[in-house]
Chains A and B, each alone.
Chain A
Amino acid sequence: MQARPRDGGHRLRLARLGLLALALVASASLGARTDADAQEGDTGTTTTAPTSGQQPAAESIRGRIRDEDRRPIEGVELAVRRGNRTIGEATTDGEGVWEVPVPSPGTYQVTIDTDSLSRGAELRDPDRATIDVDVGPEQNKGVIFPIGEPRTSGVQAGSRFFNLVGQGIRVGAVLAVASIGLSLIYGVTGFVNFSHGELVTWGALIAFYFSATVGGPEIPLPLATVLAMLFGGVLGFALERGLFGPLRHRRSGNVSLIVVSIGLGLLLRNVFQIVFGERPRPYSDYTVQENVEIGPFALPPKDFVIIGVSIVVLIGVGLLLQRSRIGTAMRAVADDRDLAAASGINVDRIILAVWIMGAGLAALGGVFQGISDRVIFDMGFALLLLMFAAVILGGLGTAYGAMVGGLLIGVVTEVSTYWIESKYKLAAALAVLILVVLVRPQGILGRAERVG
């Protein structure tokens, strides 16, 4: 009840911020720039320009749209943008060829208007109606929009529902693993960490550096995953000891903590972009796999592995929380911080342990996400809203809530594409979140709290 805070507590120990800086510098050693830029894309860009007679402009973006049977599609509309500016638009000719001259080398976004695709043709990957293209000097960059049934087309239409459920379980398992930290950190500190997504990205990037960077250590991905979790734990340690712990001790309100975490997320995300580049890249291992069928689900083997490992990890976390001393202490602190402190638990140590564990799990989730999709600098931020949805649905503050909520959100997101276009699936998940807040704000496993 002091009117003025103590001087020592008020000043943030700068030396501890140094730790954070160190962690950031470590990310700079990712050295992604030395990596060969051209990962042969399944979807994406090539430098082979389509054959067309005329003299090309200094720089341009071009391509040819053909259907599955390699017949050209005429009248497809495309737009090339840079940031918010439209550079040009084009319509495919009788050969399916289009070209848009661009003013200078740089990164452009090419968007195909899916409505203009005729004869029921569809993008193979509907999420990639817009592709980022790097155009070099004097280059006529070719862009491919693969047309045809979505990837899982090997399986009959009747089982598409089950495949979506399977994918949903995979997405949900990753979400559950990644968001335990978010929920537990909220549980023990009462603070919603808006930079949690960057902890996820961090893990994916570390694993990328150790396994897939040309000239890097190039160790196998499973080993790199373990390292990613370790580095994740280190980042969690650094953030709690260097930033959020000291802020909590000087009694910064929740509002300031949240704003600080927003700033931190923004900083990390953009540092990741500078270091890693803005293009998504796959790990070198397990990129393309044939689907295998287990029960009603047909998924690539890597997805089954991800689901399996996730379940083991979730059970492990559950056992840790139920059986071990530190887990019991974590639950006690989450339940009532003052009571836990009064009964002799070192609350700061428990909070630190939760940060290390939560960040390590987030890193693991990041690697999983990178394996089943690709690694990109803002992948964690893209997951953040889904993670929020998961932890609120399950009950903010509990580890089990994150697990249940994660699985549910994962399945809802994927299965929703059975009825709605996949570009709306994030919206579907967030709509579920909003609905939950309306109907049962404490979540499935949460409980109402006392005021006053």
Chain B
Amino acid sequence: MDIVGVLADAMRTAVGPIAAAYAIAGIGLNLQFGYTGLLNFGHVAFMLVGAYGTAITVDDGGPLWLGILVGMGAAILLGLLFGLPTLRLRADYLAIVTIAAAEVLRIVVRGGGESSFTHGVFGIQRFANSFFDANPIPGGDYGIGRLSFTQRGLWVLAVGWSVVALTAVLVALIARSPWGRILRAIREDEDAARSLGKNTFVVKLQSLVVGGAIASLAGTLLAIDRQDVRPDTYLPIVTFAIYTMVILGGPATRLGPILGAIVYWFILQFTDSFLREAIDAGWIPTSIISADDIAPVRFALVGLGLMLLMIFRPQGMFGRREEVLIDGR
């Protein structure tokens, strides 16, 4: 087995554009879930509107920058749509309504035929040419051996991780302000915050909307990287994966979502490449796990990891242990 190759694969994915996009989505979710305690299970919908906002705008002849703004605006609207009816109710309602609404959105986007403006299952392709035309990096490959990127890949990476850094700084700044203090108070006990004169409804709505707008950038980045948007990229599993990352890195920490995304994708890709090599090498008989099973094995591990993390280490890898030792009441 080529263990160096497997590690290089895993490393490349861990710092790749997808990891960057998920880190951005995680930063948005961290604001909602980590700091505010909002159970938003429709996070993927924010990514969907970001991606489609960009793709449709360009597809209809608009410039790319406008598309990104359209995606963000749509995410803000979506946040209001999710939040206004549910944020006055128990936390569970937000969870149920957001996962339901995200699915409705995906089904509707998917339902249109090829002639509709979302192009249904066929999706939209090749809308980010202007992004790649603007690539200032000279041609050629960069890196060592299998751990290398093309000129195109490096450009996406540079922009992607810059957005990660920007959004992380933004969230860190607003989270340490008095406004951020209200977020944490809501997470701990919303009634206490209300009894002290805090308009928690508005603050929760702001948290949901800002987190959603950040997630729309994640969707946009994914779409640009692939030059392709399709409804079935935006399944509920994406939301669950982002939860895993945020909890892995440590909810309500500044670097948690970023480290979480890197570690998550490293483990995921490592498992994938390792299993593939092991099956090829005949170490694992195909009667037990065949190549087709690799995807479900990966997701089963994600599920198991999410459970075990939440049970045994809810503060994540980098969170403070004493925070969770404290009794909630």
Contact = CB atoms under 8 A, between A and B. Distances in A.
Contacts of A253: 328
Contacts of A396: 92
Contact of A107 (B110, B233, B292, B311): B292
Majority DSSP secondary structure for residues of B touching A:
helix
A392 B327 contact: no
A430 B103 contact: yes
Contact of A251 (B108, B291, B327): B327
A117 B181 CA distance: 58
A15 interface: no
B114 A266 contact: no
B304 A263 contact: yes
A320 to B, nearest CB: 26
Contacts of B278: none
B293 A263 contact: no
A446 B99 CA distance: 22
A254 interface: yes
Interface in B240-280: 240, 243-244, 247
B97 A434 contact: yes
Interface string A413-434: 0000000010110110011011
Contacts of B310: 256, 259-260, 263
Interface in A251-271: 251, 253-256, 258-260, 262-271
Q: Which of B93, B247, B326 has the most CB of A within 10 A?
A: B93
Contacts of B300: 266-267, 270-271, 274
A264 B303 contact: yes
Interface residues of B, number: 64
A426 B103 contact: yes
Contacts of B237: 266
A452 interface: yes
B91 A254 contact: yes
Contact of B107 (A33, A114, A274, A427): A427
Contact of B326 (A3, A192, A266): A3
A385 B99 CA distance: 8
Interface string B125-162: 00000000000000000000000000000000000000
A263 B305 contact: yes
Given A79-B122, A262-B306, A437 B97 contact: yes
Interface string A437-452: 1100100000000011
Contacts of B3: none
Interface in A372-401: 385, 388-389, 392, 396
Given A79-B121, A84-B230, A259-B310, A33 B287 contact: yes
Contacts of B115: 115
A251 B328 CA distance: 8
Contacts of B41: 262
Contacts of A77: 114
Nearest to B82: A434
Residue among A33, A79, A258, A396 with the highest chain B CB neighbour number at 10 A: A258
A430 B114 contact: no
Nearest to B107: A427
A438 to B, nearest CB: 4
Interface of A: 1-5, 10, 12, 33, 77, 79, 84, 86, 106-107, 111, 113-116, 129-130, 186, 192, 194, 247, 251, 253-256, 258-260, 262-271, 273-274, 278, 385, 388-389, 392, 396, 421, 423-424, 426-427, 430-431, 433-434, 437-438, 441, 451-452
12 contacts: A1-B329, A5-B327, A107-B292, A247-B311, A251-B327, A258-B39, A266-B302, A268-B303, A273-B293, A274-B297, A437-B85, A437-B97
